[in-house]
Chains A and B, each alone.
Chain A
Amino acid sequence: MIYLDNNATTRVAPEVLGAMQPYLGQVFGNPSSAHTLGREMNRAVEQSREQVASLIGSADVNEIVFTSCGSESDNWAIRGVLATQPNKKHIVTTLVEHEAVRNLCRLLESEGYEVTWLNVDHNGELQLDDLRNALRPDTALVSIMLANNETGVLFPFEEIGRIVREQSNAVYHVDGVQAVGKIPIDLKNSFVDLFALSGHKLHAPQGVGALYIRNGVSLPSMIIGGGQEQGRRAGTSAVPNIVALGAACQLAFEDDEHARIEQLRNRLEDEILKTIPNARLNGVADRSKRLPNTSNISFAYVDGQNILMHLDQAGICVSTGSACHSATHESSPTLRAMNIPYPVAQGSIRFSVGRYNTEAEIETVLSVLPGIIVQLAEMSPYQEELKV
């Protein structure tokens, strides 16, 4: 299998597996226990906290709280901020957030909150003046992702943070799930108050995440129980997963793979756009404004799900922007927000490269893909458009 769906999830790194494995066997104990075994587990958790803090540039390790996943982190951040400011009923977010933020904000609208949905331009970029105009005295929360999961377009979180800090009293939450491990992040030199991340996006297993809570920002607990995580999140610490997250952060921090991954992505993207006539890039062309591993490319007038199936048959895993939920087969909210024409959005494919991809794999994809697109284009009813 050639796995080019690393934005969906990643394979657990051998280094990470090696680090967590003892905690699934001979090394055990409850980190809250006072005896030797417990203290040893606690030490492992705290080491992991340091590793996470280092990767995202947190000033204080205690700003890191472990959770079960990115969605929990996002939900806790948003619900928590609103709970501490009951008189403020306004939220600012974007139309292109991950469902964990977007669907929660939709729900909050039905609960009486007013949400300003910032839109993006055809490149997938935010207009910062829209943000400036959206901020109000009663804005409780600004929640804006760092990297879009579908297009890889980066939002300028440092600049956004400055605007939020200077022009409002709102708390600034960043869904950083798709960015952590892929680009350098230095939270201590930003105005980010809350920052969500997820382990399985950077070669830790599924089932572990973290929330960065800047010192001075208070969040009520959402899971009530024991005093774990300094009383901020109850529930016995998932030590093997937490150790894995720490090891994954360490790996990403020390990694020398980033440049190679970017080169593979560039090769894939350049060749596809050059050789396949109906291929178009979704997202800003300037690569410094996108994640270094992601290419979202539309093959106009053919169906993305069809491409996915053919690639799958050829042993290549990608994802499509259009999701077929039994009766509906809608194009992605992100591509719709970018105003990508419908027959183009329907043919979108996301390629997301990772540390285990090789040059040979990319060449295989480049040799297989054109034939698939030609076959589907021949079947397309949009013959006139394809000839243009």
Chain B
Amino acid sequence: MMDVLAADHFFNPRNVGDADEPCFTGRAASLSCGALVRFSIQVDETQRVSQARFRATGCSFLIAAASILTEKVMGLTTAEAARIGTGATNCVAIAYDALLDAIREYSNAARDDWAGDEALICTCFFVSERTIEREIQTQGLTTVAEVTRVCNAGGGCGSCHQLIQEMLEANDLPR
């Protein structure tokens, strides 16, 4: 049966509905169990989740998971939010997939809107080459994981890891 936390979130789901516009919306569904989840988030200028809402049909565990996720993602950067459900299974994974889908929509929109004249290295969380370089130098970063932790770069699809690695190596050269 459900634990106390899950039961509380099922019977009293938090943050039901749609996030205020402008927001980013993600969906996930399961053909095997018929669940459907819609997750919507607002993201502020510091790339942090400032509002999270969900709607869902599905089993009580799924409802509880979606409700818990809306609380957990608040205040996280989109990159942090994208990692909190890693390894989730079954009903929880469906709720998490909807959150990821919303973050993806945000990332796509942010990339399309990218007005900066600097080159983008991380296109998932739109972190520029200049930002990464600055963080590497000022904080003395030496690994990709450190870069991701500090500025989100590399926290999504992973396709920029090679570029970040090259920047780390270039910074390592004696000047």
How many A-B pairs with Cβ below 8 Å? 66
With A327-B90, A379-B16, A379-B63 already in contact, the answer to whether A301 and B33 are too (CB < 8 A) is no
Segment touching B, from A106-114, A125-133, A263-271, A302-310:
A302-310
Q: Is the CB of B33 within 8 A of A379?
A: no
Q: Is the CB of B13 within 8 A of A379?
A: yes
Please tell me if B36 contacts chain A, counting CB pairs below 8 Å. Answer: yes
Q: Is the CB of A381 within 8 A of B34?
A: no
B residues within 8 A CB of A380?
55-57
24 contacts between A and B (CB under 8 A): A303-B57, A303-B59, A306-B59, A306-B60, A310-B11, A324-B33, A328-B32, A329-B33, A329-B35, A329-B58, A330-B32, A330-B33, A330-B34, A331-B34, A343-B57, A376-B57, A378-B17, A379-B57, A380-B55, A381-B27, A381-B36, A381-B37, A381-B38, A382-B57
Min Cβ gap B21→A in Å is: 15
Q: Contact mask A337-356 → B, CB, 8 Å, 1/0?
A: 00000110011000000000
Which residue of chain A has its CB nearest to the CB of B31? A342
Q: Is the CB of B55 within 8 A of A326?
A: no
A residues within 8 A CB of B34?
303, 322, 329-331, 342-343, 346
Please tell me if A275 contacts chain B, counting CB pairs below 8 Å. Answer: no
Q: A140-168: which have CB < 8 Å to B?
A: none
CA distance A233 to B158 in the complex (A): 68
Q: Chain B interface (Cβ within 8 Å of chain A)?
A: 10-11, 13, 16-17, 27, 30, 32-38, 55-60, 63, 90
A residues within 8 A CB of B11?
309-310, 313
A residues within 8 A CB of B60?
305-306, 309
With A329-B32, A329-B34, A381-B37 already in contact, the answer to whether A324 and B57 are too (CB < 8 A) is no
With A309-B10, A378-B16 already in contact, the answer to whether A328 and B57 are too (CB < 8 A) is no
A side interface size, CB within 8 A: 27
Which residue of chain A has its CB nearest to the CB of B2? A309
Min Cβ gap B7→A in Å is: 9
Q: Is the CB of A327 within 8 A of B32?
A: yes
CA distance A168 to B109 in the complex (A): 69
Min Cβ gap B154→A in Å is: 32
With A305-B60, A309-B10, A309-B60 already in contact, the answer to whether A383 and B32 are too (CB < 8 A) is no
Q: A231-247: which have CB < 8 Å to B?
A: none
Min Cβ gap B39→A in Å is: 10
A residues within 8 A CB of B90?
326-327
- Find A329's partner among B16, B56, B59 (CB 8 Å cutoff): B59
CA distance A326 to B10 in the complex (A): 17
CA distance A331 to B17 in the complex (A): 26
Q: Is the CB of A306 within 8 A of B63?
A: yes
Q: Is the CB of A379 within 8 A of B32?
A: no
B residues within 8 A CB of A381?
27, 36-38, 55-57
Q: Is the CB of B59 within 8 A of A302?
A: no
CA distance A309 to B60 in the complex (A): 8
A residues within 8 A CB of B27?
381
CA distance A331 to B33 in the complex (A): 8
B residues within 8 A CB of A327?
32-33, 90
A residues within 8 A CB of B10?
306, 309
Q: Is the CB of B32 within 8 A of A302?
A: no
CA distance A330 to B58 in the complex (A): 11
Min Cβ gap B11→A in Å is: 6
Q: A183-210: which have CB < 8 Å to B?
A: none
B residues within 8 A CB of A342?
34
Q: Which of B17, B27, B33, B63 gathers most chain A CB within 10 Å? A: B33
